Amino acid sequence: MSSPQDELADLLSRCARQDRAALRRLFDLEAGRMKGIAMRVLHRDELAEDAVQEAFLQVWHNAARYTPELGSPRSWMYTIARFRAIDILRNRSHEEAVEPDNLDHLREGAVREAADGLDPEGRLRVCLDTLERTQRHVLLLIYVTGLTQAEIAGKLGRPLGTVKTWVRRSLLALRECLQ
């Protein structure tokens, strides 16, 4: 009896040979999970569905490039879905992006819980409070909720380089403060 990963590898191999039935089966098996991955990035059902559709198009066109030695078929497909979702997030208009003033509403519960959980007199809390508000929230979003820098850049409508600079400068300031 073959494992689920073996079945997925076989289906990818068949997709590489342009077997539409194999693509349909892959979709039936994995679309739900891939949509969950896309929802984590996009937080909107219709955008997540677009990301999954684009991901399956990419799987169809690139199935021959899948290399089992580099990872499981599922990991390969989930990575594609995640990057398609990030691309959609980046390509959304500025009006659809979350403005910096509204950043508090993004995953606020988890961020607030983590910040409240820190000892008010502790060094980390004191050092975090010295950071500029947006930079502090960006760091907390990354380390508490698991959002990537690319996801945050898309949500803020800011260039990825800007977010990376904020993170780097904030981490350097925290390190200096904590020493």
100-149 pLDDT, tens per residue?
Answer: 444 545 555 556 666 666 666 778 878 888 888 888 888 887 777 667 78
Mean pLDDT of the residues in the chain: 83
pLDDT per residue as tens digits for the range 22-60: 999 999 999 999 999 888 888 788 889 999 999 999 999
Residue 99 has pLDDT above 50, yes or no: no
What are the residue boundaries of the structural domains of the chain, listed by start?
4-91, 98-178
Contact 115, 107 (CB under 8 A): no
Taking the CA atoms of 75, 34, 20 and 89 in sequence, report the sign of the dihedral they define.
negative
Q: What is the CATH number of domain 4-91?
A: 1.10.1740.10
pLDDT category, 15, cuts 50, 70, 90? very high
Please give the backbone phi and psi of residue 132, each rounded to the nearest 5 degrees, phi first: -60, 145
- Residue 155 to residue 143: CA distance in whole angstroms: 16
Name residues whose C-beta falls within 8 Å of residue 70's C-beta, 6 or more positions apart in sequence.
76
Structural Rg of the chain based on CA atoms? 20
pLDDT, residue 40, reads 82
Topology adopted by domain 98-178:
Arc Repressor Mutant, subunit A (1.10.10)
Q: pTM to 2 decimals?
A: 0.56
- Residue 163 to residue 154: CA distance in whole angstroms: 10
